[in-house]
Amino acid sequence: MPALTFVSSAAASASAVRVRGAPRLHGHTKSGSSTTPPSVLRTLSSSSRRQNWSSSSSSASARRHNALIPRAGIKDALEELLLGNDLSGADAEAALEDLIANPSPESTAAFMVLMRAKGETADEVAGLVRAISKHSLKVPLISTDVVDIVGTGGDGMSTVNISTGATVLTAAAGVKVAKHGGRSVSSKCGSADVIEAMGIAAELGPAGVARCVEEAGVGFMFAPVYHPAFKHVAPVRKALGLRTAFNMIGPMLNPSGCQRGVIGVWDTTAMRLMADSLANLGASKCVVVNAGGIDELTPVCDATVVEINGADSIKEYTVRPEDYDIKKCTIEDLVGGERELNARMLQDAFGGEKGPVAEALIFNAGFAVAMAENSPVSSPLEGVALVREVQESGKALETLEKWRTLSQEEKAKEEK
């Protein structure tokens, strides 16, 4: 089992070579989007990706050539970025390693801003993930067939904790979930906040999380506990107040080795970069989603989905709630509040209560169930139907109670 989420040995060995035509976070568009019917599946081959996402100019070619030249660390990386040159995955990794070993707020800020101004590439993002992961704690799971449901946050919609609620429904449906997350980004209540409000210990170490996943079917890894290397980056990121590549890498740093799941992104322009970065890191099967600016699937509107099924299979399509028997609602129906309110809203849904929140949880959990290696279903449509049965039965409350009990037992052990 790999030590790092979405990282395979093959992908790691190729990290020094920039993928020709890899998408960037800023300043790119997708050709043909205005003429392709939303319901029509668009399979993106390597050649079409090059056409849609790369520049054919000689200056871009020169930048790609220069990006292949090995660099020493952060100073060399900054010089290249100042020239508008792309970094190889290995160079981005080495630059961040240098910053981790020799913390410098000024150099860290320059690195973030210059990379954003140029436009991040999939190789660069993957390199950053590898650098952080080298210093991360790992969760020793026995089960390798696990999924994650996670978002980048930052969509500003202040919805109830949909991905966290979907995590419990997914586990109740028989698919193990190793959830990775933190506290609030753009709302009053993050995933760690709401699970604590439901009585679950949120800051367990690796052994405690592993037991929860194996016995309850769900565990939570609190990002600051597992990624100490981030402590030098986080204050700079917060002070800048800008979206950079570091807003994107969190969902790719799951400490359990999970290679499957549902990943929400704050904006459709960032989706393809996330997808190609995941493929670069060796993702097995996952979907990157955005629904009208929300980093989750919702009953509010159609969603854009980019599906990764191995490094060589990336396809994009539109998902309509009504096609999955999901009842439509407004964004106001999904707005949460403080942690106690959000916890009540989720637990009501776990107990079988119908309504917009339940529909949102079912939608996301149905897709997550379908991502598992040994999934009990053959498609997201079947996954949604299965999860609906589980939600209406109230079985998710039993899963929640088991998780709560185990997590508190493990917390007590750690405090001794």
pLDDT string in tens for the chain (416-residue length): 333 344 433 333 333 333 333 455 543 333 333 333 333 333 333 333 333 333 333 344 444 444 444 456 999 999 999 999 999 999 999 999 999 999 999 999 999 999 999 999 999 999 999 999 999 999 999 988 999 999 998 767 889 999 999 999 999 999 999 999 998 765 688 999 999 999 999 999 999 999 999 999 999 999 999 999 888 888 998 899 888 999 899 999 999 999 999 999 988 989 999 999 999 999 999 999 999 999 999 999 999 999 999 878 999 999 999 999 999 999 999 999 999 999 999 999 999 999 999 999 999 999 999 999 999 999 999 999 999 999 999 999 999 999 999 999 999 999 98
Tokens of 396: 């998710």
Q: What is the pTM of this model?
A: 0.83
Q: Assess if residue 1 is contained within a domain.
A: no
**pLDDT for the residue numbered 185:** 60
- What stretch of H or E contains 287? strand 285-290
**pLDDT for the residue numbered 230:** 87
**pLDDT for the residue numbered 72:** 64
CA 48 to mean position of chain CA atoms:
25
**pLDDT for the residue numbered 64:** 43
Number of structural domains the chain divides into: 1
**pLDDT for the residue numbered 58:** 38
**pLDDT for the residue numbered 24:** 59
Distance, in Å, from the CA atom of 76 to the CA atom of 85, rounded to the nearest integer, reads 11
User: Which CATH number does the domain housing residue 187 bear?
Assistant: 3.40.1030.10
Query: Residue 222 belongs to what domain range?
Result: 146-226+236-408
Those residues whose C-beta lies under 8 Å from the C-beta of residue 412, and which sit 6 or more positions away, are none
Q: Assess if residue 4 is contained within a domain.
A: no
Count Cα neighbours of 114 within 13 Å in the Cβ-side half-sphere: 22
**pLDDT for the residue numbered 310:** 85
**pLDDT for the residue numbered 13:** 36
Residue with tokens 């970025």: 81
Distance, in Å, from the CA atom of 23 to the CA atom of 41, rounded to the nearest integer, reads 20
Q: Assess if residue 186 is contained within a domain.
A: yes
Tokens of 281: 């890191």
Burial-class residue 416 by CB neighbours within 10 Å (0-12, 13-18, 19+): exposed
Q: Assess if residue 270 is contained within a domain.
A: yes
Q: Are 165 and 350 in contact (CB under 8 A)?
A: yes
Count Cα neighbours of 241 within 13 Å in the Cβ-side half-sphere: 1
**pLDDT for the residue numbered 234:** 85
Those residues whose C-beta lies under 8 Å from the C-beta of residue 293, and which sit 6 or more positions away, are 155, 157, 266, 267
DSSP 165: H
Hey, is 192 helix, strand or coil? Answer: helix
